[in-house]
Structure 1
Amino acid sequence: MPGNTLNTTVYPKGSLETLSQLEVQQLSEVGSGRTYRLFRQCALAILNTGVQIDNAKTILEAHADFDVRIHQQDRGVCLEMINAPGDAFVDGEMIASTREMLFSALRDIVYSDSDAGRPRTIPDNSQGITEYVFHLLRNARTLRPGVEPNMVVCWGGHSINQAEYKYSKKVGHELGLRGLDICTGCGPGVMKGPMKGATIAHAKQRITEGRYLGLSEPGIIAAEAPNPIVNELVIMPDIEKRLEAFVRVGHGIIIFPGGVGTAEEFLYLLGILLHPDNADLPFPVILTGPVGAAAYLEQIHEFVAATLGAEAQARYQVIIDDPSAVARAMNQGLQKVKEFRREQRDAFHFNWRLKIASEFQLPFDPTHANMASLQLSTSLPKHELAANLRRAFSGIVTGNVKDRGIRMIEQHGPYQIRGEQSIMEPLDALLQAFVAQQRMKLPSGMAYEPCYQVVS
């Protein structure tokens, strides 16, 4: 249930301070339809930062009377907030980080839905989609030409135990001591821990312009509000463009313990790195966690071996319970990235040379029919099998936390995932382990109700 609410007017800070008259007109006309509903949903999630609910349907229903109206001013826009959650304010003033993220969301959603942000025809080829991702990131002022590789992406669970959270903070601290910046999915748990550790380390090293980049998408941000450490928020149009943004702006990736969402991200990354065109491209990847997560890390490692083989395992390191070793290994990997890009005359700020096949870029609609028709066969090339496994996990994430997915499961029952027994058995074992370890249990205290059935 929502707590205190209030009505207020908020002005831009961090984004949208300088607009053309046409842009102001376009924004002020956003009062109905898909774009408005999307922004209202994202705005409500941002205003609920810190609330321990990761179910979009629950948040939307709890704040059914919340509204946001966009008004034109002489030199920009302002937002009128009606029945806004009181936790986003201090003595009637909106918290600065919340205000920045609120207008970042408006910037990204309106840009991607406008003629400026959307190509005349939505690209359906690999190069066109990559160009689209580039333009979205450039509009958000995320790309910093000339800065040497130092952006470390951290993936992991939003609902993890304290030991795993503290470990992610220690790793972030070690990264920060080495002057590295952090990019995460911007929510709680592992998406917050490395950023928090890095802020302390940056302060120790007197680094005043540390970057804490959060990349989200509308369906995720509605369930996982950004953590307040994020100082750059970018909302991509869908999960596939969000994942591409991670690997285009990140120079290396650390994967912490998590659940289905983390497995989806890991499979997406492995599928890209297994493409023959990327065989010689340096991209440091480290799978890590505290000693208490050793069983989880081993299960993931064994699942990769059983489904994608030793070639996939060779694309990452596993380091258990050693934050400084993780940071040193990542730093060494980034040096190789820097040398490679200099030799190839490739940009530091955007990984143009990385080949991403269209099956990793085109949005996957996790309907019951599409989930049931996924090809999970050892006859497929490894990178294509990884793409379909990623789609299976993406559907489970949708059924777990996204409003539309939750409603589809309520209406039609669990998804059915079919494939060869040699793939389905390790997949089923991994998913059951996630449930047993409470890696798919929502923080509401209710027991997890599986949104899927594995059929071999």
Structure 2
Amino acid sequence: MNDNNDSPNLAAAAASTLPTVSTHIYPRGGLDVLSREEVARLRDASSGGLHDLLRRCALAVLTSGSASDDPRAAQELYPDFDIQVRQQDRGVRIELSNAPAMAFVDGQIIAGVAELLFAVVRDIAFTAIDLNGDCQPEASADITDAVFRLLRNARVLQPGDPNLVVCWGGHSIGQEEYKYTKQVGYELGLRGLDICTGCGPGAMKGPMKGATIAHAKQRRRRSRYIGITEPGIIAAESPNPIVNHLVIMPDIEKRLEAFVRMAHGIIVFPGGVGTCEEILYLLGILLREENAHLRFPLILTGPTGAAPYFEQIDKFIRLTLGDAAASLYEIIVADPAQVAKRMEAGIRKVKEQRIAQQDSFFFNWGLHVPLAFQQPFSPTHELMAGLDLHHGRKPHELAADLRRAFSGIVAGNVKEDGMRRIEAHGPFEIHGDADIMQALDALLRAFVQQRRMKIAGDYKPCYRVVA
């Protein structure tokens, strides 16, 4: 489904004996030293340790460009892979055993892959120790501060004129839609705009790929291609090779808050349940009275063939959240240049407002994100069945539970914990008002028919909609 001709394909590689490399590397910049406690936690292979998490995330990076969205595929292909982090007098040493050879050239690790690998070690260590990963902050302001510190530690918060466009969209899209995302990225790049995505393939890779050509034409040498992910999804959406700043947030909620705090504008391409989760998250926040005054350009766009997709999304939003929610975005079909022009104009207004309110350009402190959108949601069958998807609620409250419903389906589709729950107990059940359930079921069925749920193979639903 995706343009992966320039990236190795794990499924194809599995047909033969997979070559591996065992070596050690020394990080450069941003990860010069670690404390003894950090190293000990990263090497701890017990149930409460970080070694298994480090191994899974590192393997996802070393298979960068994978066309698989099965989080267990790489682990099955490289069962003997291991990574160890050691503190030495000269700094940090990372030892790799039986690592995928696709990450190396003539025995030397590819520079971009090495940078992403260092980011994995950096973020896992920082979350576990500096943010006390065993005791998550509970107050809204504390959670926002944690998001800020994670992004600052990753060195992606840079003062300067607003120019960061967050692009959302599916990892499983067709060639027509993928080419369109590249065209939009190209138009954004020509206008000096940088790109931030979820770091995976499909609509997350396309805008970055288009922008690299435009940035080269404009002789921009310090372009940013930021990928923000989280441990539960990185193995299913391995970072694409263009990402030059990788950030691993502790959970999906902090990942989403990082997107909206950093973004100067957001573009949404066609996608599946993950994209709907992102849309509902942002709309639920912007519908709050505290955020009514904020400038936040939001554009939904795709090629001509995607027009019915956006019509269905728009219809679902109007039914559930009302016309006020629909007024927060505009839909532009088959016009990449217009998308870029509208986004550039919107970002100019963002800059004017930030100056007037004396807010920073690099982190949107003025955006109010309520606790309901910040608390981690770990979907179980009981919690999914208990979501309140009924009319009569405030739009932002309904948006919060709709977001959780889509988040649960994402977990059942591509996250190991969610997949195990589905295998053990069957599909999640989602309950609500009949018209909402009918619209939700139609939307999800369309995603399945359009192959937006899975890159390869037949999709078996992890949910059941009950009116």
**Aligned partner of 1:237 among 250, 266, 277:** 250
Aligned counterparts, 1:186-335, within 5 A: 186-335=199-348
Structure 1 letter corresponding to 2:101: G
Q: Does structure 1 residue 4 correspond to structure 2 residue 15? A: no
Conserved? CA contact 2:67–2:455, under 8 Å: no
Structure 2 letter corresponding to 1:27: V
Cα deviation, residue 196, structure 1 = 0.7
**Aligned partner of 1:27 among 39, 42, 51:** 39
Provide, for residues 88-120 of structure 1, a one-character-per-residue CA deviation record: whole Å limited to 9, x for no partner: 111111111100000001000010000x23389
Aligned counterparts, 1:74-223, within 5 A: 74-114=89-129, 116-118=130-132, 122-145=136-159, 147-223=160-236
Which residue is 1:450 aligned to? 461
* Structure 2: runs of 5 or more not aligned: 1-13
Cα deviation, residue 404, structure 1 = 1.1
Identity of aligned residues (%): 58
Which residue is 1:48 aligned to? 63
How far apart in 2 are the matches of 1:121 and 1:162? 44
Cα deviation, residue 63, structure 1 = 2.0
Cα deviation, residue 70, structure 1 = 1.3
Structure 1 letter corresponding to 2:306: A
Structure 1 letter corresponding to 2:98: N
TM-score under structure 2 normalisation? 0.94
Secondary structure, counterpart of 2:50 in structure 1? helix
Structure 1 letter corresponding to 2:39: L
Conserved? CA contact 1:68–1:82, under 8 Å: yes
How far apart in 2 are the matches of 1:201 and 1:333? 20
Secondary structure, counterpart of 1:123 in structure 2? coil
Secondary structure, counterpart of 2:96 in structure 1? strand
How far apart in 1 are the matches of 2:381 and 2:29? 41
How far apart in 1 are the matches of 2:134 and 2:376? 18
Q: Does structure 1 residue 70 correspond to structure 2 residue 85? A: yes
Over 4 Å off, 4+ runs: none
Conserved? CA contact 1:31–1:69, under 8 Å: yes
Structure 2 letter corresponding to 1:351: N
Cα 1:186–1:426 shift into 2, 3 Å: same
Which residue is 1:16 aligned to? 31
How far apart in 2 are the matches of 1:356 and 1:29? 32
* Structure 1: runs of 5 or more not aligned: none
How far apart in 1 are the matches of 2:312 and 2:74? 33
Aligned counterparts, 1:327-346, within 5 A: 327-346=340-359
Cα 1:131–1:211 shift into 2, 3 Å: same
Secondary structure, counterpart of 2:307 in structure 1? helix
Structure 2 letter corresponding to 1:405: G
How far apart in 2 are the matches of 1:63 and 1:409? 25
Work out the number of aligned pairs and report it.
449
How far apart in 1 are the matches of 2:251 and 2:41? 23
Provide, for residues 274-295 of structure 1, a one-character-per-residue CA deviation record: whole Å limited to 9, x for no partner: 1111111110000000001111
Conserved? CA contact 2:41–2:50, under 8 Å: no
Conserved? CA contact 2:55–2:83, under 8 Å: yes
